[in-house]
Amino acid sequence: MIEARGLTKRFGSIVAVQGVDLSVGARGIVGFLGPNGAGKTTTMRMLTGFLPMNEGSAVVCGFDVFEDPLAVKARVGYLPETPPLYPELSVGEYLTFTAEIRGVPRAVRLARVGDAMERVGLRGFERRLLGSLSKGYRQRVGLAQAIVHDPPLLILDEPTSGLDPAQLVGVRALVKELAADRVVVLSTHILQEVDALCDRVVIIHRGRIVGDGTVTALADAAGAGAWTELVLASADNDAAGRLAGLPEITSVEALASDGARKRYRLRGGPGHAVAVSALAAARGWPIEALVPHRASLEEVFLALVGSES
Amino acid sequence: MTGSSGPASMGRAPGFVGATLAVTRKELRVYFLSPMAYVFLASFLFLGGLFFYLGVALTGEASLRATMSNLAVALIFCLPLVTMRSFAEEQKAGTLELLMTAPVPLGALILGKWLAVLALCGVLVGATGVYAGILALYGDPDPGVLLTSYLGLVVCCAAFSAAGLFTSTLTRDQMVAGVGAILLLLPFWLSSTVSSYLPAWAAPVLDWVSFLEHLRSFARGVIDTGDLAWFLGFTGVFLFLTWRSIESRRWR
A305 within a domain of the structure (yes/no) = no
Q: What is the CATH number of the domain that holds A52?
A: 3.40.50.300
| Band of pLDDT at residue A37, cut at 50, 70 and 90 | confident
Question: Is B9 touching A (CB cutoff 8 A)?
Answer: yes
Nearest Cα residue in chain B from A93: B26
Residue A267 has what pLDDT? 84
Q: Is the pLDDT of residue A217 over 90?
A: no
Model confidence pLDDT, tens digit, residues B43-89:
888 988 888 888 888 877 777 888 888 889 999 999 999 999 999 99
Q: Is the pLDDT of residue A309 over 60?
A: no
Structural domain including A151 reads: 2-219
Question: Is B116 touching A (CB cutoff 8 A)?
Answer: no
List the single range of A188-202, A227-241, A289-303, B151-165 with lowest mean pLDDT.
A289-303
Q: What is the CATH number of the domain that holds A249?
A: 3.30.70
B11 within a domain of the structure (yes/no) = no
Residue B6 has what pLDDT? 42
A214 within a domain of the structure (yes/no) = yes
Model confidence pLDDT, tens digit, residues B93-151:
999 999 999 999 999 999 999 999 999 999 988 888 888 888 888 888 888 888 998 99
Question: Is A196 touching B (CB cutoff 8 A)?
Answer: no
Q: Determine contact, residues B175/B182, Cβ cutoff 8 Å.
A: no
- Report in angstroms the alpha-carbon separations of A114 from A110, A124, B80, B228: 6, 10, 37, 48
Q: Are residues A42 and A87 in the same domain?
A: yes
| Band of pLDDT at residue B198, cut at 50, 70 and 90 | confident
Q: Are residues A45 and A171 in the same domain?
A: yes
**Residue among A3, A62, A101 minimizing CB distance to B14:** A101
- In chain B, the largest separation of any two C-alpha atoms, in whole Å, equals 75
Residue B57 has what pLDDT? 81
Q: Are residues A210 and A242 in the same domain?
A: no
- Report in angstroms the alpha-carbon separations of A181 from A21, A32, A176, A230, B5: 25, 20, 10, 43, 10
A94 within a domain of the structure (yes/no) = yes
Q: Is the pLDDT of residue A60 over 90?
A: yes
A201 within a domain of the structure (yes/no) = yes
Model confidence pLDDT, tens digit, residues A156-181:
999 988 788 888 888 888 899 889 88
Average pLDDT (A1-24) is 92
Q: Are residues A109 and A256 in the same domain?
A: no
Residues of B in contact with A150 (CB under 8 A): 6-7, 9-10
List the single range of A92-96, A270-274, B94-98, B228-232 with lowest mean pLDDT.
A270-274
With CA atoms as reference, report the closest residue to B133 among B123, B124, B143: B143
In a 3-state reduction of DSSP, which class is residue A76? strand
Question: Is A66 touching B (CB cutoff 8 A)?
Answer: no
B43 within a domain of the structure (yes/no) = yes
Q: Are residues A80 and A163 in the same domain?
A: yes
A167 within a domain of the structure (yes/no) = yes
- The mean predicted confidence, pLDDT, of chain B is 88
Q: Are residues A200 and A273 in the same domain?
A: no
Residue A161 has what pLDDT? 81
Judging by beta carbons within 10 Å of its beta carbon (0-12, 13-18, 19+), is residue A249 exposed, middle or buried? buried
Residues of B in contact with A114 (CB under 8 A): none
Question: Is A35 touching B (CB cutoff 8 A)?
Answer: no
Q: Are residues A42 and A168 in the same domain?
A: yes
Structural domain including B213 reads: 16-251
Nearest CA of chain B to the CA of A272: how many Å?
A: 44
Residues of B in contact with A152 (CB under 8 A): 4-6, 10-11
Residue scoring higher pLDDT (B235 or A251):
B235
Dump the DSSP string for B220-252: HT---HHHHHHHHHHHHHHHHHHHHHHHHHHH-
Q: Is the pLDDT of residue B4 over 50?
A: no
Nearest CA of chain A to the CA of B102: how many Å?
A: 5
Residue A224 has what pLDDT? 60
Residues of A in contact with B248 (CB under 8 A): none
Question: Is A75 touching B (CB cutoff 8 A)?
Answer: yes
| Band of pLDDT at residue A225, cut at 50, 70 and 90 | low
Structural domain count of chain A: 2
Q: Is the pLDDT of residue B22 over 50?
A: yes
- The mean predicted confidence, pLDDT, of chain A is 88
B47 within a domain of the structure (yes/no) = yes
Q: Are residues A256 and A112 in the same domain?
A: no
For the sheet with A76-79, list strands across it.
Answer: A76-79, A153-157, A183-188, A28-33, A200-205, A208-213
Q: Are residues A34 and A136 in the same domain?
A: yes
120-149 in A: which are within 8 Å (CB) of B?
145, 149
> Which residue in A44, A45, A54, A100 has the most chain B C-beta atoms within 10 A of its own C-beta, making it the best mutation to test that interface?
A100
A308 within a domain of the structure (yes/no) = no
Question: Is B28 touching A (CB cutoff 8 A)?
Answer: no
Q: What single-letter DSSP state applies at residue B14?
A: -
A116 within a domain of the structure (yes/no) = yes
A309 within a domain of the structure (yes/no) = no
Structural domain count of chain B: 1
Q: Is the pLDDT of residue B3 over 70?
A: no
Dump the DSSP string for A191-202: HHHHHHH-SEEE
